[in-house]
Amino acid sequence: MKSKTIFKAIDIVLLLAAFGVAIAVDLVMPVGLPATVLKKGAVFAVVAVSMNLLNGFTGLFSLGQAGFMLLGAYTYAIFSIPLEARASVYYMQDHVAGFLNVVELPVVVAMIAAGAVAAIFAFLIGLPVLRLKSDYLAIATLGFAEIVGAFAKWEMLGPITNAPNPLVNYPKFSKVTTYFVAAGICIAIIALLVRSTYGRAFKAIRDDEIAAEAMGINLAKHKMISFVTSSFFAGVGGAMLAMFQSKAQANSFNTALTYEILLIVVIGGIGSLSGSVIASFLYIACSEWWLRFLDTPDVIPGLTRNGFRLVVFSAVIMVIVLFFRRGLMGDKEFSTERLVKGSKQFVKDIQDRKARKAKEVN
């Protein structure tokens, strides 16, 4: 019993250490690769966790993530660009929608608005599509994301969305710590939801829809709650990605982005929030930093050049999908206790095997 409290304490220390790293990077090296990786990693962690809530915990295979992120990014950008900067952003449009001349929201409010807009659209599209079976739901949500993208680029909406031109000059988080705090809040809320009685209901739906319904769980309602919540945080994540990229443009919120997030979720373990978080940082660190050298010509002569990194990436992902289907964490959450027990078990397994082999030889 005592060791349990110690392990819990270590967990908390580790969590605080993560924030400590963020603060340290802000102090020591505010610009550079580590800062970039931590910022982008935090953004992807939010989105991956929100996708896991839906795909991993509720069993709804949705591929609409990029669409909801786009809605969030655009909402955030449109409402938070300072009034005096609007004319310069929308210079390609002959006029700007009336409300944009008066409304300017503070950062936090605009982020919540970003989530809310994504959530409202999720509700509307969820009404028809959440009744669909697994793969039909996937393709319908994928289609929804494409439709959202087309609307964002539509000339007629130019006075609001700046049509195909990017939205820029909105306020951004400058510190890694701010990204971490924002991401931390989002992830904590999702984690709390998953641990609540609603979270149990989601898992019940994932495990067996028919039994869940027979136990009095209203499928339509709970699927909708999961879908809307997931989309809310995808929207907030989209706003954060817009901040990270310093511009919001429909083209960057494409299907490839959804696939990337899905693969992060798979790497981390479908049904593990901590897995998604760890995988996000790992994935971003590899793609932005540790494996960058693969794209540099002739590090390995004749092999490494632009694009090789992505080939290695996709090959690794295929290996995980085919041979390590549980990903890093399976459907378990990270805890020091499990880590210690797991490694003890691992060492024991190896010793047992050695002992058995030794016996066989004798």
Partner 1 sequence: MHNLLKLENITMQFGGVVAVNNLSLEVNEGEIVSLIGPNGAGKTTAFNVVTGVYEPTNGCVSFEGKAIVESYPRGKMRKTYAGENRGAYHKRIVKTPDKITKLGIARTFQNIRLFKSMTVLENVLVAMHMRRKSNLFTATFMLNRKEEKEMRRKATELLDKVGLLDVKDELATSLPYGKQRRLEIARALATEPKLLLLDEPAAGMNPQETDELTAFIREIRDEFGLTIFMIEHHMNLVMDISDRIYVIDFGKLIASGVPAEIQNNEVVIKAYLGVSEDE
Partner 2 sequence: MNITIDHILAGISVGGQYALIAIGYTMVYGILRLINFAHGDVFMASGLIIVYLTTAMPLQYAIPIVLLLTVMLGFLIERAAYKPLRAAPRMSVMISAIGVSYLIQNLALYITGGLPQTYPAIPWISDSITIFGAVTKRVTIITPILTAILIVLLVALIRYTKIGMAMRAVSKDFETSQLMGIKINRVISTTFVIGSLLAAVGSLLYFTSYQSVVPTSGSMPGLKAFVAAVFGGIGSIPGAVIGAFIIGICENLIKSSTDFSIFSDAFTFALLIVVLCVRPTGLFGEKSIDKV
Chain positions contacting partner 1, by CB under 8 A: 189, 192-193, 196-198, 200-201, 203-204, 206-208, 210-220, 225, 271, 331
- Span 112-131, contacts to partner 2 by CB under 8 A: 125, 128-129, 131
Least Å distance, CB 144 to partner 2, is 7
Select the binding partner of residue 352 from partner 2, partner 1, none (C-beta < 5 to 8 A, by kind): none
Select the binding partner of residue 8 from partner 1, partner 2, none (C-beta < 5 to 8 A, by kind): none
Contact 114, 235 (CB under 8 A): yes
Least Å distance, CB 201 to partner 1, is 5
Least Å distance, CB 187 to partner 2, is 22
Helix locations, 29-133, DSSP H: 33-52, 65-80, 83-89, 107-129
Q: Rounded to whole angstroms, how far apart are CA atoms 241 and 70?
A: 9
Select the binding partner of residue 217 from partner 1, partner 2, none (C-beta < 5 to 8 A, by kind): partner 1
314 is a contact residue toward partner 2 (CB under 8 A): yes
Which residue type does 154 have? W
Q: Rounded to whole angstroms, how far apart are CA atoms 37 and 289?
A: 8
Is residue 211 classed exposed, middle or buried when 0-12, 13-18 and 19+ CB atoms within 10 A define those classes? exposed
**Of residues 161 and 231, the one with the C-beta less far from partner 1:** 231
Which of 322, 358, 360, 361 is in the footprint of partner 2 by CB under 8 A? 322
Select the binding partner of residue 350 from partner 2, partner 1, none (C-beta < 5 to 8 A, by kind): none
Least Å distance, CB 152 to partner 1, is 30
Q: Rounded to whole angstroms, how far apart are CA atoms 353 and 7?
A: 29
- Span 96-115, contacts to partner 2 by CB under 8 A: none
Q: Give the dihedral sign, CA 119/120/124/125.
A: negative
**Of residues 103 and 127, the one with the C-beta less far from partner 1:** 127
Which of 215, 318, 340, 355 is in the footprint of partner 2 by CB under 8 A? 318
Q: Give the dihedral sign, CA 30/31/32/37.
A: positive
Run of H or E residues at 162: none
**Of residues 53 and 262, the one with the C-beta less far from partner 1:** 53
Main-chain dihedrals φ then ψ at residue 220, nearest 5 degrees: -55, -45
Q: Rounded to whole angstroms, how far apart are CA atoms 41 and 237?
A: 11
Select the binding partner of residue 200 from partner 1, partner 2, none (C-beta < 5 to 8 A, by kind): partner 1
Least Å distance, CB 228 to partner 1, is 10
Q: Rounded to whole angstroms, how far apart are CA atoms 253 and 161?
A: 14
**Of residues 85 and 150, the one with the C-beta less far from partner 2:** 150
**Of residues 217 and 240, the one with the C-beta less far from partner 1:** 217
Select the binding partner of residue 219 from partner 1, partner 2, none (C-beta < 5 to 8 A, by kind): partner 1
156 is a contact residue toward partner 2 (CB under 8 A): yes
Least Å distance, CB 254 to partner 2, is 9
Main-chain dihedrals φ then ψ at residue 248, nearest 5 degrees: -115, 120
Contact 25, 205 (CB under 8 A): no
136 is a contact residue toward partner 2 (CB under 8 A): yes
**Of residues 145 and 236, the one with the C-beta less far from partner 2:** 145
Q: Give which of 277, 252, 119 is closest to 183, Cα–Cα.
A: 277
Least Å distance, CB 255 to partner 2, is 7
Q: Distances in Å between the alpha carbon of 266 and those of 34, 241, 309?
A: 24, 21, 19
Half-sphere exposure of 238 (CA within 13 A, CB side): 39
Helix locations, the chain, DSSP H: 2-28, 33-52, 65-80, 83-89, 107-129, 134-153, 158-161, 176-195, 197-207, 209-214, 219-245, 255-268, 273-285, 308-323, 336-361
Residues that bind partner 2 (CB under 8 A): 55, 59, 61, 125, 128-129, 131-132, 134-136, 138-140, 142-144, 146-147, 149-151, 153-156, 210, 255-256, 259, 262-263, 266, 270, 305-308, 310-311, 313-315, 317-318, 321-322, 325
